[in-house]
Amino acid sequence: MAVEKIQIMKIANEEIMTRKGVKRPMRVVHCFVHAERVNEETGLVSDDSFVAKTAIFDEKLQLEAGQEYVVSYRLAEGYGVDAGRLVPRIDSWTPVVKAKPVPKPAGAPV
């Protein structure tokens, strides 16, 4: 399994029609993928970040625009136009929790 840090920029609610004619809700999640790589030979860091989108069908999965997540993914067999090909499949979305500054009480030593 591999991991990446992703920031969700926008979530669009859409509907698709299955081959059987059933409407199914889908969220299209527009993401900024943070991808820094270290060249093993030179030690130089390159920024390979990119913008992409993915479809989310799990209605229970709670995602927020503007939030950063660490996603773990694995290789799987694709479906539809990707049938028979290896595609990445996201297994989990873990929110990145940023520490909030704690104010000091009045009269506390500096």
Side-chain-side CA neighbours of residue 32 (13 Å): 11
The contacts of residue 75 (CB under 8 Å, 6+ apart) are 86, 87, 88, 89
Confidence grade of residue 99 (pLDDT, cut at 50, 70, 90): low
Residue 109 has pLDDT above 70, yes or no: no
In the prediction, which pLDDT does 3 show? 87
Residue 110 has pLDDT above 90, yes or no: no
pLDDT, averaged across the chain: 89
In the prediction, which pLDDT does 39 show? 86
What's the pTM value of the predicted model, to 2 decimals? 0.75
Extended beta strands in 1-110, E state: 2-17, 23-34, 36-38, 45-47, 50-56, 68-77, 86-95
Per-residue pLDDT reduced to its tens digit, 14-34? 998 888 899 999 999 999 999
SS3 81: helix
Domain range annotation of the chain: 2-95
Per-residue pLDDT reduced to its tens digit, 72-90? 999 999 888 888 999 999 9
Name the CATH superfamily, with its identifier, for domain 2-95: Nucleic acid-binding proteins (2.40.50.140)
Q: Residue 31 class from Cβ within 10 Å (0-12 exposed, 13-18 middle, 19+ buried)?
A: buried
SS3 8: strand
Gap between the Cα atoms of 55 and 91, Å rounded = 13
In the prediction, which pLDDT does 19 show? 82
Per-residue pLDDT reduced to its tens digit, 47-74? 989 999 999 989 899 999 999 999 999 9
